[in-house]
Every structure is written in structure tokens, then in C-alpha cells.
Amino acid sequence: MSADTVVDVLHLTKRYSGVPAVDDVSLSVRRGEVYGFLGPNGAGKTTTLRMLLGLIRPTSGEVTVLGRRPGEAGTLSTIGSMIEGPAFYPFLSGRANLQVMARYSGVGTGQVGRALGAVGLASRGDDKFSAYSLGMKQRLGVAAALLKDPDLIVLDEPTNGLDPAGMRDMRQLIRELGDSGRTVILSSHMMGEVQQVCDRVGVIDSGRMLVESTVEELRGEGELVVRGAPADVARTTLEQLECVQDVRVVDDGLRVRVEESRTGEVTRALVLAGVDVREVRRQERELEDVFFEITASGGDHV
Amino acid sequence: MSELVDVTRAELFKLVRRPAAWTLLVAAVVLSQVFGYLIPYLSYAGGGSGPMEGASKAAVLASVLPDQMVANALGGFPVFAGALALVFGALVFGSEYGWGTVKTVLTQRPGRLRVVSGQLVAMTLAVAVGVLVLLGLGAVSSTVIALSEEQSTSWPSAVDLLAGYGGGLAIMVMWASLGAALGVVLRGVALPIGLGVVWVLGVENLISGVADSVLTGLQPLRDVLPGVNAGSLASAVMPVRPPGIGSAPGVTTSVADGRALVTVLCYVAVCVVVTLWTTRRRDVV
């Protein structure tokens, strides 16, 4: 584990009654990055995060967090987290809940106001937690994660239940945390969110890590969308070009993977083949497309 | 050590703001005052011989005077107040699972053993305050009765008061610890409270009754039951009751004084170990 690696997971497995919930997962999170842990519901994200925090003991494998074993007091004192939804005391106000957590954490209750302000709950801090909307509860969970001014922040689906404006604010907050030098692990099943916020991403499905890479690498160089007539001639021409890979018919056009610098060459070939070219444009691939490709191929994509 | 203090402070902060904790204290106070003072005094003032068959009017009045305050406070501990203490322990620990806050708490700074230890300390402090309140209000009520009836206002000796308080505290902490252990093992509130209360109010009485009458071979089993030992300990630290005034439900002399105290403390120790071990070993899912 290098000095710049905050979380190091090797061959992590958790089985329940012999059934693997997490199966041989390895991942590393580097200092100062926002790491997206991407996968569908039930993929094993939360179980993995719980093991990082010492809430669950692995069946096998190694976990190192900030150079220590997970769950130790010295480790937990530098981690802020919200796992599988916010859980607080319903009879206490939001502020009082944070005061309880501040006492548990051994930080001054003076941090409470700052944390409430950071998530936009300063004016509703004295309301009972039980009276909070789901979005407010979610924001209080993030506020609790910020109380310790932690080096590492682990947020499990933090935008669940937020309205569009709340989601935007939350993503902005997470990005700001990353920009301020903190390391953030963000689990999500929302690919747009990961694409917007994260530097690197690990894709997990059915308990297995399929790929770990930067968002840019995963998305690749994008695709060229081509529309022209006759379509069959256009397709044949494209398939014969050496610089073109992976010709696919999508809606009424064709999509091909080709370097951006070869766009002119492709257009020229189509025109010379007698194709009436109506549209040639470059389109960045969405992480969503990549994700479904990866999960469909079981990780062979990358 | 500072982490233990932090956890204890956090738990006390929660407890003083928790309506359920105050509700249980009020229930214990009302039961203690009504059955310890109000009903005996009304039966005395009403001119009858009171609910205690065979007791004289003077004995009924004597039973609510200040020198009987330990007996009146502790009379409810083996059964009714004990059941409330068990509910309190189950609430303190089991609710954390019901609300899912156990994961929030265990991902703050302290390790699991320190968290549970701090919670146990806070629970014990709260029970200690509760026992003090019951004794204190008993002292107030009995003194008021003594003054209004021009009777002796003399209190029990300091040693008797301390013994009564210590015995009462041991009994209530035992019940609360049983509630705590059940709350952690069963990861909730409803089942521990249901099982615990049925045990305290029903099963123990049944076993004791059967062991005392038709199946005397069950007496060794009876003598290790928590309620029977709590009743024996309460009996050991109580003053002699006025003639004709019977024991409160559950107060018994089945087990020798010293053995009762040791058994009660053993129950506390076992419950604490079970609570700590279970929390330490188990995954928080």
C-alpha cells in the first residue's frame, strides 16, 4: 500500500450461509480522489462499504483503511460515513442528534453548526428528526459524516430521496469535498451522478468487481454518429474502413468507434461511395452505456 | 478512559431528552406512591383495617411512616418496578437496533466495547437516579403523613438507608441489565419487553408457587431465579414490618441474604458479558 493509497482492498469476500454477497473484490482508493462505487441494487456495494467501516467482518480477504485495520478507534476517528440511509434518534432534533454524535466522536459540539450549515439545514436544525423529510434526513446524515472534519468520507447513495435541486447541491458538496483534498467514496446506482462527480470508478455487479478505472477511460473516446442514404451502402463502406471499429445500427443511424482525427477520412469515404451524407457528429458515450456493456459482458469489456 | 466518558455523556444527553425514559420513571413513582403510601393511608384514614387482612389500624399507619421508607420503596422492586427497569434496559439497547442507529454510533470514534460500556454506565447512572427518586419521594410522603398524624418523623439509620439504597440499586440494575442483554441479543425492543415482562410477572411466580406447594423438588431451581433472589435481597435490607403487614408481591425469604446478593450480582455480570460479547462479535447488517 503506497502512501497515497487511502483504502486498499484485496480479494475481499463475504459469504452469508455460503452464498457470496461480495466475491473476491479488490479495489484501491487514492488520497484526494472522489471514488465512485457503481453498481445496481444488491450488487454488494453496501456490504463492501460496511466492511471498510468495520461493521461487518469479511469472510476472507484484506482491508486496510488509512493504514490501519477497519473499525479501530484510530481509524474511525478520521472517517465520516453514512451507510444505507441516515439513522438517527427520532425524539431528538437534528442539532441534538449531531451533538450526540459529536460527543461520541470526541469533537466539540461547536462543529455542529458548521456541519448543519454545510448541508443547508441550519434553519431547520431545531426541528425533530422524526419531522424531517427524507431529503432532510439524508442531508443530516451527510452533516454527521462531516462532523469529524474527516480525511475519508464514505457516502452510501447520498442523493437517495433528494429532489433535483437537492441532488445538484449534494453533488456540488461532494465535488467540493474532493476539491478540498478529502478522499470521498461514493456509492451509487446512478451513473450520471458518478460521471459528474467522480474521478475514478469501480463497477460491481453480483458481488464481483467488474472493472476499476477513471471515468474518462471507461467512457473511451466517444462515438461517431453517421446518418446517410442508402443506409446499407453507408454501413458496408464503414465496415470496410480499417480505422473504424464496432459499427452499430442505432435508431435510423449508424454508430462507430473511430478516433476523432479520422472523422474527415470517414466522411470522404462515404461521399466517394455515393452515400448521401446527412449527418456526421461526434457523441461522447455516457457512462450508462458503458455500464450496461460491462455488466452484460461480465467485465470482459475492459 | 476519555472515550468512555464521551460515550457516557452522549448516552445521558440522549436519555434526559427521551420521553420514554421519563414515562417509565413516572410510572415507577406512581406505582410506588400509590401502593406504598396512598392506598395504605386511605385505608387508615377511612377507618377500616386496610387492605392487609389482620393488620390493626395502628400497624397500617406505622407501615407508612418514615422509618419504613426503605420497605415501601423496595417493595415493588422484585416485580413491578423491576419489570419497568427491564423495559428501560431493553429500550436503551434494543432501540438502537430498531432505529438503525447502532451503525451510526459504531462508526463514530470509540470501539464497540467502549460504546457498550459507556451505554451500560449511563444506564446504571439513570437507574441509580431512579432509585434515589423513589426513595426520596417516599421520604417526603412518609414525613408528610407523620407530621399530619403527629407521629414519629425519625428516619432509618444511615447504615439502613445505604443498605436499602444499595440493595435496591443492585436489584434494579439486574433487571435493567437483563433488558439490555435481551435487547442486544434479540436486536429490538418488542420481543425483549414481551418476553421479559412475561417472565417477571408470570413465569417466576408460577415456578415459585409450584415449588412452594406441589413440586418442592423445584426449589433449587426457584432459588436461582432472578426475581426470587431480588425478593430475598429486598427482604434482607428492609426493616421489620409492623405486625400484620404482609410482604409486598415478590418479597420473600426463600434465599439466604448473602447468597441473594451474590446471585443478583452474578446476573448483572452475566448480562454485561453477554451484552459486550454479542455486540463485539456480531456483524452490524
Overall number of domains in chain A: 2
Other CB atoms within 10 Å distance of the CB of residue A137: 18
Residue A262's pLDDT band, with cuts at 50, 70 and 90, is: confident
What is d(CA B17, CA A88) in angstroms, rounded to the nearest whole number? Answer: 14
Identify whether residues A122 and A261 lie together within a single domain: no
Q: Which residues of A touch B109 (CB under 8 A)?
A: 73, 76-77, 104-106, 148
Q: Give me the residues paired with residue A79 across strands.
A: A152
pLDDT at A301: 46
Q: Calculate the average pLDDT of chain B.
A: 91
Using one digit for the tens of pLDDT, what is the confidence trace for B120-167?
Answer: 999 999 999 999 999 999 999 999 999 999 898 899 999 999 999 999
Highest mean pLDDT among B104-113, B117-126, B200-209 belongs to: B117-126
Q: Which residue has the cell 444488491?
A: A42
Identify whether residues A162 and A82 lie together within a single domain: yes
Residue A91's pLDDT band, with cuts at 50, 70 and 90, is: very high
Find the CATH number of the domain harbouring A166: 3.40.50.300
Please check the confidence at residue B21 and state whether its pLDDT lies above 90.
Answer: yes
Q: Which residues of B touch A148 (CB under 8 A)?
A: 108-109
What is d(CA A302, CA A217) in angstroms, rounded to the nearest whole number? Answer: 9
Asked if residue A292 belongs to a domain, the reply is no
Using one digit for the tens of pLDDT, what is the confidence trace for A64-74?
Answer: 999 999 988 88
User: Average pLDDT of A90-113?
Assistant: 94
Q: Where are the domains of chain B?
A: 2-281
Asked if residue A236 belongs to a domain, the reply is yes
Q: Do A89 and B14 touch (CB under 8 A)?
A: yes
Other CB atoms within 10 Å distance of the CB of residue B217: 9
A185 CB within 8 Å of a chain B CB: no
Identify whether residues A115 and A261 lie together within a single domain: no
Please check the confidence at residue B54 and state whether its pLDDT lies above 80.
Answer: no
Using one digit for the tens of pLDDT, what is the confidence trace for A226-241?
Answer: 999 898 899 999 999 8
Identify whether residues A198 and A251 lie together within a single domain: no
Asked if residue A123 belongs to a domain, the reply is yes
Distance from CA of A267 to the nearest CA of B (A): 57
Measured in whole angstroms, the distance separating CA A92 from the mean position of its chain's CA atoms is 32
The two most distant CA atoms of chain A are separated, in Å, by 75
Identify whether residues A176 and A263 lie together within a single domain: no
pLDDT at B127: 98
Closest by Cα among B140, B132, B134, B96 to B116: B96
User: Average pLDDT of B171-176?
Assistant: 97
The residue segments making up the domain with residue A263 are 221-284
Task: Indicate the range of A27-41, A96-110, A284-298 predicted with least confidence.
Answer: A284-298
Identify whether residues A137 and A256 lie together within a single domain: no
Asked if residue A290 belongs to a domain, the reply is no
Identify whether residues A186 and A237 lie together within a single domain: no
Q: Which residues of A touch B116 (CB under 8 A)?
A: none
What is d(CA B27, CA B38) in angstroms, rounded to the nearest whole number? Answer: 15
3-class SS of residue A81: strand
A91 CB within 8 Å of a chain B CB: yes
Q: Which residues of A touch B20 (CB under 8 A)?
A: 91
pLDDT at B238: 87
Please check the confidence at residue A302 and state whether its pLDDT lies above 80.
Answer: no
Other CB atoms within 10 Å distance of the CB of residue A260: 9
pLDDT at B156: 93
Please check the confidence at residue A1 and state whether its pLDDT lies above 70.
Answer: no
Please check the confidence at residue B257 and state whether its pLDDT lies above 80.
Answer: no
Cis geometry, peptide bond prior to residue B19 (ω within 30 degrees of 0): no
Distance from CA of A120 to the nearest CA of B (A): 21
What is d(CA A97, CA B14) in angstroms, rounded to the nearest whole number? Answer: 9
Instruction: State the pairing for strand pair A34-38/A183-188.
Output: parallel
Find the CATH number of the domain harbouring A234: 3.30.70.100
User: Average pLDDT of B215-241?
Assistant: 88
State whether the Cα torsion B121-B85-B188-B191 is positive or negative.
positive
Task: Indicate the range of A211-215, B39-43, B215-219, B227-231 predicted with least confidence.
Answer: B215-219
Identify whether residues A26 and A169 lie together within a single domain: yes
Asked if residue A293 belongs to a domain, the reply is no
Q: Do A55 and B101 touch (CB under 8 A)?
A: no
Identify whether residues A29 and A66 lie together within a single domain: yes
Distances (CA, A) of B239 to A197, B68, B155, B252: 72, 7, 11, 14
Residue among B3, B14, B107 minimizing CB distance to A100: B14
User: CA angle at residue A269 from A265 to A272, to 5 degrees?
Assistant: 135
A75 CB within 8 Å of a chain B CB: no
User: Average pLDDT of A167-196?
Assistant: 88
Give me B68's grid cell: 419504613
Asked if residue A80 belongs to a domain, the reply is yes
User: Edge-to-edge, what's the strand order for the sheet holding A276-283?
Assistant: A245-250, A253-257, A223-229, A276-283
pLDDT at B51: 55
A81 CB within 8 Å of a chain B CB: yes
Asked if residue A294 belongs to a domain, the reply is no
Please check the confidence at residue B80 and state whether its pLDDT lies above 80.
Answer: yes
Instruction: State the pairing for strand pair A223-229/A253-257.
Output: antiparallel
User: Average pLDDT of B178-190?
Assistant: 97
ipTM of the complex: 0.90
User: Average pLDDT of B175-187?
Assistant: 97
User: Average pLDDT of B30-47?
Assistant: 88
What is d(CA A266, CA A223) in angstroms, rounded to the nearest whole number? Answer: 13
Identify whether residues A189 and A272 lie together within a single domain: no
Please check the confidence at residue B6 and state whether its pLDDT lies above 80.
Answer: yes
Identify whether residues A225 and A159 lie together within a single domain: no
pLDDT at B250: 76
Asked if residue A291 belongs to a domain, the reply is no
3-class SS of residue A40: coil
- CB A29 within 8 Å of CB A81: no
Q: Whats the size of chain A, residue-wise? A: 302
pLDDT at B204: 86
Identify whether residues A19 and A66 lie together within a single domain: yes
